[in-house]
Structure 1
Amino acid sequence: MALDKDFIFDELAEEGFLSEVFVKTGDSANKTIYAKYTAPSEVVFDGVAQSTDHTLRYRIRDAVLRRDNQVEIDGKTYRVTRQPAVVGDGSTYCLASLETYKP
């Protein structure tokens, strides 16, 4: 039986393990998606390392994000700092680096 990544992702969102992200600008503007948000200094890789950037792991089919697009997470606005990278086999997820938006 094949692993259904979409089913697992949807279940994680429903159970509150993913962050609600409002895309403010760009191709997917005015759209709400769910994604794994990681803040700086958050422990990653089962405690082996700490994140140094704000990152957003999201489904490719949910949004098109590009450098300089703005997203809102928990009332704070962030800017995508570089073109998001495809993760894994390239069929499901992207990883975007973020910084706090300063107008």
Structure 2
Amino acid sequence: MHRIVDVFPADAQDIPDEQWISYGLDRSWIPLSKDGRIRTRDLEIRPVLERSAVLFYLDNQQLRTLEMVERLDSHRNAIHRAVEKGGPAAYAVRTNGLDRTWP
């Protein structure tokens, strides 16, 4: 796992989403966001579309770090299957599993 804060200052708050998404995809990283609205914004989702990539987002922005880790870990196998399936695609990581929400 690569943390955006290790690459971009201030947790990439001043970096457009499409820039950090492109940065990660160019390194074969799978983007994970807490902002599901990315999938509805053409400019921000474009790197996923252009690279036929897969993006995951947590459906609850209020989760504590431990809750995020537990949720991702509990759905690890489903996440791996979604990545193997390929994209372009965006998935919500919900309490009860993954939900493909785009396109």
TM-score above 0.5: no
Q: Which has the larger radius of gyration?
A: 1
Q: TM-score, normalised by structure 2?
A: 0.30
Q: TM-score, normalised by structure 1?
A: 0.30
Higher share in strand: 1
